[in-house]
Amino acid sequence: MHRNHKLKHVVTAALGLSDIDVRSSLGQQLKEKVTVLGAEDLKDRSCLKLGANSDLSHVNFMLGPLNGNAAALTLTSNKIINEPILNLSIIAGCDSSTNLTTCS
């Protein structure tokens, strides 16, 4: 007896972050840009969300077009930032999850 099994191929993304380009100062809304390496596995910004241990409750993600295997990710907030150090945990992935952590 032969059984045909259809396996769902789930890609575990090997994502990385470049250095963070912070474009805001204390007393302003967050604006920073980072290059996501291995971004070809991300379909769009809906594949990105904040992790539970982030200092902010909401961040806007804007994922730029893919350039090779990298894409520019812009993070902004509506909240004014008054702390010099901010912890953001980003969960990235559509079919699987990879945790990225950044401090600005």
pTM above 0.75? no
Q: How confident is the model over 30-76, as pLDDT tens digits?
A: 999 988 888 877 777 777 888 888 888 889 999 888 888 888 999 99
Q: What is the pLDDT of residue 7?
A: 34
Q: Domains in the chain, ordered, with CATH?
A: 17-103 (2.60.40)
Tokens for 60? Answer: 């806007």
Strands, E, within 1-104: which ranges?
Answer: 16-17, 21-22, 28-37, 48-50, 60-67, 70-81, 87-92, 98-103
1 pLDDT higher than 60: no
Neighbours of 12 (CB within 10 A): 11
Task: Report how far residue 83's alpha carbon sits from residue 3's, in angstroms, rounded to the nearest whole number.
Answer: 59
36 in Cβ contact with 15 (< 8 Å) = yes
